[in-house]
Structure 1
Amino acid sequence: MNTIIEIKKDYSLELPDFLTKTDSLNPNASLQYQNINKELFVIVIEEDRKEFTRKIVENKAEEVYPPNLKGYTDIISHSIGETIKISARTEIEDLEINGLPAKNFTIEGQTQDKIPVYYSFTIIRGENNYYQIAQWTAKNQKALFEKQMSEIAHSFKQL
């Protein structure tokens, strides 16, 4: 069974019932759910689109990171390499999720503690925010959770 979780009357995400709410995964996340025993973790980080554009322009980074969905996704894609030793990465794929433009990519690698992991990142351009849905599991659980991670990301709805 799944449960629809609403955050601040802004967005909703449909999550499996075996995930429980936490606040220990990322201090910037507006949604954080996990199941430590099954090794599945889901967070959503929101970033104001105007604020993102302001930061890009202020830092004169428009050439490298255009102030749009592609630029925001590229920043996430490049910055993940700072915390994960990447062994495999998919190309960034264009999607539409419930009428909103989105991008998705996955990464396999090792954490700084040498734990093999599989990550799925889905970035959605909402009306006022970018939403980063980051999900991860142990690499040996990839086959078990890959489809479910995609279903979670595709359940995103702006309210």
Structure 2
Amino acid sequence: MKTGTALLLALSLSLCFTSCIDFKTKKKEVTATEVAGEDFNQIEVNGEYRLSLPKYMRKTDNLNEEASLQYQNIFKETYTIVIDESKDDFIEMFTELGEYDENISVIKNYRDVQQQLFAESMYVDKESSPIALEINGMEAEMVDIDGRVDGIDEDITYFLTFVEGKEKVYMIMSWTMTSRKDTYESTFDGIAKSFKLIN
């Protein structure tokens, strides 16, 4: 697993929150009709995986330096990143720490770890029950988290999808203000479910 994953996730959350604050004055309301009619681009990353993102989201490099994919629309306040880690490294590290549960799947362990990091990095107001599913032949888990941190007026909703590939585990993280959760939920769901390994 990448060195300092916990710290990097906390930093990512901090940067995510900052992004929401910085562009708060530039809000533009979006209707459900606009979302339903949006077009998507298929994005390929490092010849490793692809997923579909709304055409209104643009590539950026200021959300999380460890993410292999970073897209945003600051006016709609929609953000998506993908973080990938070696599956073997993840298992080895958390086994050594005594935090790996041999009785559940790799992806459930990965989801548990990431949810714990969220709980340590922000005040979690609401958390959905995890949903197990298959995304393009891979085991996956989905969970939504509503939460807040000091200094931010509005709650933020994170849509987290964890996918187990052959060699890596992936976290697809999309977020927006909780007030816009219903508007973008189906969009973020579509992004996550479009995830596919190329080889």
Moved more, 92-101 or 56-65: 56-65
Identify the range of structure 1 (58-67 vs 136-145) with the bigger mean alpha-carbon deviation.
Answer: 58-67
Structure 1 gap segments, 5+ residues each:
none
Higher strand fraction (1 or 2): 1
Determine the structure 2 residue equivalent to 1:101: 139
Distance in 1 between residues matched to 2:69 and 2:139, nearest whole Å: 20
Residue identity opposite 1:78 in structure 2: Q
Query: Contact 2:101–2:109 at 8 Å: present in 1 too?
Result: no
Which position in structure 2 is the counterpart of 1:90?
128
Cα distance in 2 for partners of 1:78, 1:92 equals 13
The change in CA–CA distance for 1:65 and 1:21 in structure 2 (over 3 A counts) is farther
Local SS of the residue matching 1:47: strand
- Is residue 48 of structure 1 aligned with residue 48 of structure 2? no
Q: 1:91 to 1:106 in 2, by over 3 A?
A: same
Task: Identify the residue that residue 81 of structure 1 maps to in structure 2.
Answer: 119
Distance 1:11 1:25 in 2: 20
Partner of 1:146: 185
1:60 paired with 2:111, answer: no
Q: 2:194 aligns with which of 133, 155, 159?
A: 155
**Which of 108, 113, 130 does residue 70 from structure 1 map onto?**
108
The residue aligned with 1:17 is 55
Percent identity between matched residues is: 33
Larger radius of gyration: 2
Q: Is the 8 A contact 2:51 2:191 kept in 1?
A: yes
1:134 to 152, 159, 173: 173
Q: Spell out the pairing of 1:28-47 with structure 2 (5 A cutoff).
A: 28-47=66-85
Structure 1 CA distance for aligned equivalents of residues 155 and 136 of structure 2:
32
Matched position secondary structure for 1:29:
coil
The two structures have a TM-score, normalised by structure 2, of: 0.76
Q: Which has the higher helix share?
A: 2
- Supply the distance in 2 between the matched residues of 1:113 and 1:64 (Cα, whole angstroms): 39
| Separation (CA, whole Å) in 1 of partners of 2:84 and 2:77 | 23
In structure 2, the residue matched to 1:7 is 45
TM-score normalised to structure 1 length: 0.95
Within 1, Cα distance between the matches of 2:72 and 2:116?
Answer: 25
Q: Return 5+ residue gaps in structure 2 as ranges.
A: 1-38
Residues matched between the structures, number: 159
RMSD across aligned C-alpha pairs, in angstroms? 1.6
In structure 2, what is the Cα distance between the partners aligned to 1:15 and 1:139?
20
